[in-house]
Structure 1
Amino acid sequence: MLADAARRGVHVRVMVDGLGSGRSIPTLAALFAGSGVEFMVYRPWRLWLDLVQRGHWRRLHRKLCVVDGATAFIGGINLIDDRLDIRHGWSAQPRLDYAVRVQGLVAQQVLWSMRRLWLRTVATGSLQRQLRSMPGPEVLKSRQARQRYLDELRAWGGELPPREDVQQETRERQSRLLAEERPTHPACPDGQPGMRAALVVRDNLLQRRAIEHSYIQAIDQARSQVLLVSPYFYPGQAFRTSLKRAAARGVQVTLLLQGRIDYRAAAWAAHTLYRELLQAGVHICEYQRAYLHGKVAVVDESWATVGSSNIDPLSLLVNREANLLVRDARFARDLAAHIRAELIHALPIDHARLQKRVSWWTRPLVALAARLFIAMAGGARNY
């Protein structure tokens, strides 16, 4: 479909992660060769050398798409068959995952964030090693050609950063999403009331803890209910404290987590935190119907988030992630209703079930491994 679009004159750019899409890169490169699709790999993986290289675990985990600069898609969905798991093969049921379609200012935010990452990847010359082993844009083979390409990128649809007034409006919108006041909404193209929404990204520069802080602030303001869905769950102390405080003041806190183990280390990590959270009054359920891949949350049926970020060190401290924050009662109610419907297919966890899973030595071992990984990946120390 992407190659067909390029052949009919649509300007198509595709960026995939060098580790997460590693097995598919040769196939994709061959598919896009000669089609007009500009295909780029973010941080190509160099096997064992990158295992010990500080900072190379910082992967591209965002799942974003922009069409014609006006419509964007944000969520956790990868471009893969919903019933296919790359580690475990085919499943009878599709994985549980989420994405949303947006227009307006948020779509422009998504477009700019994607262009900025593309520009940075080209400008730093990080493509040179992949060009030696796979097809790539011919324009990138020399410094002079790369500079010309950068100039073309900047001219493409207005590549310069948003004006200061647009940046200020974006910052104010993000702040209002966590405030109680409700300004009037702009109208959508179909005439329906617009939603208050903002893109929040995690990078390794100025937005290192932006997504984590958005979660914590929303949970700290919760009055009645928190619904949180995450397949990989190993939050830091501040995040766990926020969940426990909410439960202590009478908020119903429910976690929907992975029930079908796909990565055993990730499952062990989550299980080591169950006892602490159960004792605090947090409800924990494990999804059984299929593999869980969605990363969403709803607070008080008025605030919601959908995106790529798991609640674990990899997403909160290391990877490039992107979430949409939404302050809209109808959207939040619909998402909460969908989550509750999926809870029917989940196994509630209690102390009796937990006793059979977690040994006394597991938690300190997992904590040590997490600290070593965070240090190796160059993440924040205070997790």
Structure 2
Amino acid sequence: MRKIKRRDRRQSLYPETLSNFTSGNTVTLLKDGDAYFSAIEAEFSKAKHDIYLESYIYANDTTGRRIAQALSQAALRGVKVHLLIDGYGSKGLSAPLLDQLRSDGVKTLIYRPDISPWTFRRKRLRRMHRKIAVVDRKIAFVGGINIIDDRETTGALLPRYDYAVAVKGPLVKMIRHSVKHLWSLVAWSSFRKGTVRGRRSSGTTFTQGKMRAAFLVRDNFLHRRDIEAAYLRAINQAKTEIILANAYFFPGHNFRHALIKAAGRGVRVVLLLQGRYDHRLQHYATQALYGHFLTAGIEIYEFHKSFLHAKVAVIDGHWATVGSSNIDPFSLLLAREANVVVEGQEFGAALAQSLRLAMESDAVRIFMEGWKHQPARLRITSWLSYGLLRLMIGICGYNREKSGLKKDEGLVW
């Protein structure tokens, strides 16, 4: 009994649970890197107390150096600046840039820096995939946008298609708590001091708007299924429309069937997926699922104008989520992720309108008739990719028996 009470008390420190929506927030939608980088750079320049920045990828390019300069300038004027990057995603970040940041007073940590190709362990795949910035307890940014030049790998194409949100209000306190907690965990594992202390600043205890929002994380301890469970709850309750845009879409059994059941009860289900792909195996594995979705009446659009990197959804026009979590086993079972969920017609309408515009002008719809006549080599490639990806997941040990899930909980791939 004593252990249970301790666990409940600890869980209460994490307000990212499904039922804990807070009111009084302002959540602003930011589309693509240009809007996101300009917004965080402006806030960094105004910071007075502390900055926390988490990014899966931090590239040594024009954008990376631009943000590094903003972080350094803040640190040099006395702001406590913390940068947490992932060891695999940011493996290309040069030592001189990190050394310069540290020299200027920016505290830097690397999440799981050991990325040896000769070590094949499940924990190697547990990455820090979050993209979060928090400034002075007054504003937080959450989304899917890494610190990387949008155009570096896209050539003459438009920037990556992606989203983030800027949050003001009581939710900032919750986001900041999560960021500080993860920093402490990584600091402890790096044999540094395990607690982060900073000066208190005012602002986030006051309401900043009228929007209800929640902050959800996925980790390997208390919040293993929060993001997936939020998606499934909203999908199962959907009455009119589900629009889901996801870069790496390889849903498990329950997620697939929730979408198919929604379509079966008359809900319009729309998927916006990658047309231009950067991971061949996952792209073809996803296409192996097209036939099942199309047969169920689900609409599929492939985005071709540039790389689609978004991880967003709008359900019934009033439930929306923006974050870092893909709908695939790597995000839902392995990585540390973070999403913001917003309840409100105005925000939902803005995101839905943006997605509809992308589908109408920059995407190609996949129809069943055309899909039936795809070349045999494409069908074979898709199913081989599907089988190989499932095998990889099985090798990692993520199945129902080893995860301890009940049959009706099924994270089954």
Using the size of structure 2 for normalisation, the TM-score is 0.75
> What is residue 331 of structure 1 aligned with on the other side?
347
Identify the residue that residue 110 of structure 2 maps to in structure 1: 41
Q: 1:104 maps to what in 2? A: 169
1:156 to 183, 198, 202: 198
What's the offset of the Cα at 1:25?
4.8
Mark the CA change 1:47 to 1:238 in structure 2 (over 3 Å): closer, same or farther.
Answer: same
Counterpart among 92, 95, 102 of residue 160 in structure 2 = 95
Aligned to 2:319: 303
Verify the 8 A CA contact 2:88 2:115 in the aligned structure 1: no
Of the three residues 277, 280, 287, the one matched with 2:293 is 277
The amino acid across from 2:288 in the alignment is T
What whole-Å deviation, never above 9, does each CA across 1:351-371 have from its counterpart, x for those lacking one? 323633322842434432332
Partners of 1:91 and 1:321 in 2: how far apart?
31
SS of the residue 2:243 aligns to: strand
How many residue pairs are counted as aligned between the two chains? 326
Distance change (3 Å), C-alpha of 1:366 and 1:54: closer
> For residues 1-383 of structure 1, what are the structure 2 equivalents within 5 Å?
1-50=70-119, 52-85=120-153, 90-124=155-189, 127=190, 140=192, 146=193, 150=194, 153=196, 155-157=197-199, 188=208, 193-344=209-360, 345-351=362-368, 352-353=370-371, 355-356=374-375, 357-359=378-380, 361-362=383-384, 363-373=386-396, 375=398, 382-383=411-412
In 1: Cα distance, 2:138 partner to 2:279 partner: 37
Gaps of 5+ in 1: 129-139, 141-145, 159-165, 167-185
Specify the alignment match of 2:19 in structure 1: none
Distance 1:115 1:256, change over 3 A: same
1:335 alignment partner, SS class: helix
Aligned amino acid, residue 15 of structure 1: L
Distance 1:266 1:207 in 2: 25
What is the letter of the counterpart of residue 280 of structure 1?
A
Letter paired with 1:350: F
Give a deviation string over 1:169-218, Cα, whole Å, max 9, x none: xxxxxxxxxxxxxxxxx952xxxx41000100000001101100100110
With normalisation by structure 1, the TM-score equals: 0.80
**Which amino acid in 1 is paired with 2:182?**
L
Are the counterparts in 2 of residues 18 and 45 from structure 1 also a CA contact under 8 Å? yes
| Conserved? CA contact 2:241–2:316, under 8 Å | yes
Partner of 1:162: none
Distance in 2 (CA, whole Å) between partners of 1:102 and 1:283 is 32
- Offset at residue 273 of structure 1 (A): 0.9
User: Corresponding residue for 1:181?
Assistant: none
Following the alignment from structure 1 to structure 2, what is the Cα–Cα distance between the partners of residues 48 and 367?
21
- The separation in 2 between residues aligned to 1:313 and 1:37, in whole angstroms, is 34
Cα distance in structure 1, aligned partners of 2:306 and 2:397: 30
**Aligned mates of 2:395, 2:288 — CA distance in 1:** 17
Deviation at 1:26, TM superposition (A): 2.1
Q: Does structure 2 conserve the Cα–Cα contact (< 8 Å) formed by 1:17 and 1:60?
A: yes
Q: What is the Cα deviation at residue 379 of structure 1? A: 6.7
Aligned to 1:169: none
| 8 Å CA contact 2:282, 2:389 repeated in 1 | no
> Counterparts of 1:73 and 1:81 in 2: how far apart (Å)?
18
